[in-house]
Amino acid sequence: MAKVIASAHPALPKPPVRKIARPLLHFLQIESASGVVLLVCTVIALTLANLEAVQQWYHDLWHTYVGVEIGSWKLGGGLGHFFINDVLMTIFFFVVGLEIKRELVAGELRDPKKAALPVAAALGGMVVPAAIYMALQWGQPGFRGWGIPMATDIAFVVGVMTLLGHRIPFGLKILLLSLAIVDDIGAVIVIAIFYTDDLNLLMLALAGGGFALTYTLNRLGVRAVPTYVVVGAFIWLAFYKSGVHPTIAGVLLGLLTPASAWVGDATLREVLQDALVRAPGPGPERYSVLRDVSFTARECISPLERLELALHPWVGFVIMPLFALANAGVHIEWDEITDPIALAVALGLLLGKPIGIFLFSYGAVQAGLARLPQGVNWKVLLGGGSLAGIGFTMSLFVAGLAFGDDPHRLASGKIGTLTGSLLSVLAGTTLLLVFLPYRDKPLLGLGESPGNANSLDNGSSAASSNHNASAAAHSSNNNSSAAVSPVDAASASGTISPPDDPPAGSESNSSRSR
């Protein structure tokens, strides 16, 4: 995920600590930075899990009990499984819900014609890998892990695309980023339906009441975040006790988050003009006027966008790295690398993803439902599909759900995920290096040259101009700052200007990627 944030007004004071922290802020605002941190944590976890001197300590650390006890009532579990996988990952899935909501309201998935290709590609990228796994594990005890190779980890995909530089066409970035959102929807559905056992209907009813209360509070205009935190904690607990994985509660709460601002730009201008007249004088009136200004400025940004901006660094640089440290560490032995489960997962990612994405996209184009984006031909799509075989966060998460009670199968599922992801990086990078020409610099801020794009087009549409038009229309309709789209992230050069820095020319639009 990444955001592009405009610089602060030059008249505002600049605390010395901001200058000290500027290099760190700059790093945290690079699109590929979260992927780099995730990769480093994965290497650390694998190293600790395979060093004989510390592997027992590493294992015991994540099984340390953490919890809350009030009298006879207890809630807790292992540090890795309960606190990270059940609690912290709910926040990750909440952000996934926010992204899905934003894409459905203001992004590429809002327009059925634009959504046709990423939806078809994502379906192929889920169905074919699962089918390959099922075929190889049919009738075997490991059959339950068919959902493992279905996911794409967009943080790593964005990191690889960044390393490939300006040769990556804007249209491919749009497709892969939008595909990842649909992919997340599919993963959430699979987890909710196929990896849920022993339902407690009473707890589900209580959770439903919590969602109804959340919706009512939204309609009544309650804006206090602590109120929603309390209600959300109640919903999480109800899901946890219901048998449905509590991370699903995070997704649903994200989908319930309002995507439009409460206060429009016209009201903001009116309040600011009034403040210029009334605020200069001392006394209670000054406090009241400035309080109104503060409230108006905050409510000019939709809750969805505000929460995404606030939670992005925590998810990208705290929660996901902790998840990698707790889940990627697996003791590697040759017999486990060649284990049938590991091979099924690896082949599902390495072969199933590109084949599924290619075939379903080809079918959608031939049926007249979709067109290839500008700058993307079938060879480039095959390379992008190979990159989509990088499955990490969601794949490891599903492996834990499928084989959490069987350490050997769980290790095989994780090894297959890591092996398939590594081979997908090599395959996708090689194909894109061969099929795409080198470019010294992006043109029009889109990361592609019109001439090169046209030579690769094969009848595709100008996705960038269509997106800009739809985003502008959405912003105008809401009279507020529109929620950020992953398409914008693709058009950015890869970094965000820290608050003190002047915005770069190619990064004037808000952007994010996940």
| Residue listed under structure tokens 């440290």 | 325
Give the separation between CA 133 and CA 146, rounded to whole angstroms: 6
**pLDDT at residue 477 tops 60:** no
Whether residue 215 is contained in a domain is answered as no
What CATH number does residue 147 fall under?
Answer: 1.20.1530.10
pLDDT of residue 12: 66
Total structural domains within the chain: 1
Give the separation between CA 226 and CA 213, rounded to whole angstroms: 14
Query: H helices of 300-377, where?
Result: 303-314, 320-327, 334-337, 340-347, 353-366
Whether residue 316 is contained in a domain is answered as yes
CB atoms within 10 A of CB 190: 19
Q: Under DSSP, is residue 70 helix (H, G, I), strand (E, B) or coil? A: strand
| Residue listed under structure tokens 């990270």 | 84
Q: Give per-residue pLDDT as tens, 30-86.
A: 556 788 888 899 999 999 999 999 999 999 999 999 999 888 888 999 999 899 999
Whether residue 248 is contained in a domain is answered as no
Supply angle C-alpha 491, 497, 498, rounded to 5: 150
pLDDT of residue 18: 61
**pLDDT at residue 503 tops 50:** no
SS3 breakdown of the chain: % helix, strand, coil, rounded to 5? 70, 5, 25
Whether residue 139 is contained in a domain is answered as yes
User: Which of the pair, 141 or 198, is modelled with greater confidence?
Assistant: 141
Q: Give per-residue pLDDT as tens, 277-289.
A: 776 767 777 778 8
* Backbone dihedral angles phi then psi of residue 25, each to the nearest 5 degrees: -60, -40
Of the pLDDT bands very low, low, confident and very high (cuts 50, 70, 90), residue 441 is: low
Whether residue 480 is contained in a domain is answered as no
Supply angle C-alpha 66, 68, 72, rounded to 5: 125
The residue segments making up the domain with residue 167 are 26-193+309-433
Over residues 13-20, mean pLDDT: 66
**pLDDT at residue 306 tops 80:** yes
Query: H helices of 51-153, where?
Result: 55-62, 89-106, 112-137
Q: Give per-residue pLDDT as tens, 108-124.
A: 788 888 889 999 999 99
Helical axes 89-106 vs 320-327, angle rounded to 10°: 130
Whether residue 409 is contained in a domain is answered as yes
pLDDT of residue 346: 96
Q: Give per-residue pLDDT as tens, 23-38.
A: 555 544 555 678 888 8
Whether residue 410 is contained in a domain is answered as yes
**pLDDT at residue 475 tops 70:** no
| Low-confidence winner among 297-311, 381-395, 453-467 (lowest mean pLDDT) | 453-467
- Look at residues 474, 477, 479, 486 and name the one whose alpha carbon lies nearest to residue 510: 486
Count Cβ neighbours within 10 Å for each residue of 221-244 and write b for 16 or more, e otherwise.
eeeeeeebeebbebbbbbbbbbeb
Give the separation between CA 481 and CA 302, rounded to whole angstroms: 7
| Low-confidence winner among 6-10, 230-234, 272-276, 496-500 (lowest mean pLDDT) | 496-500
pTM: 0.75
Give the separation between CA 247 and CA 226, rounded to whole angstroms: 20
Whether residue 18 is contained in a domain is answered as no
**pLDDT at residue 226 tops 80:** yes
User: Which of the pair, 302 or 473, is modelled with greater confidence?
Assistant: 302
DSSP code of 139?
Answer: T
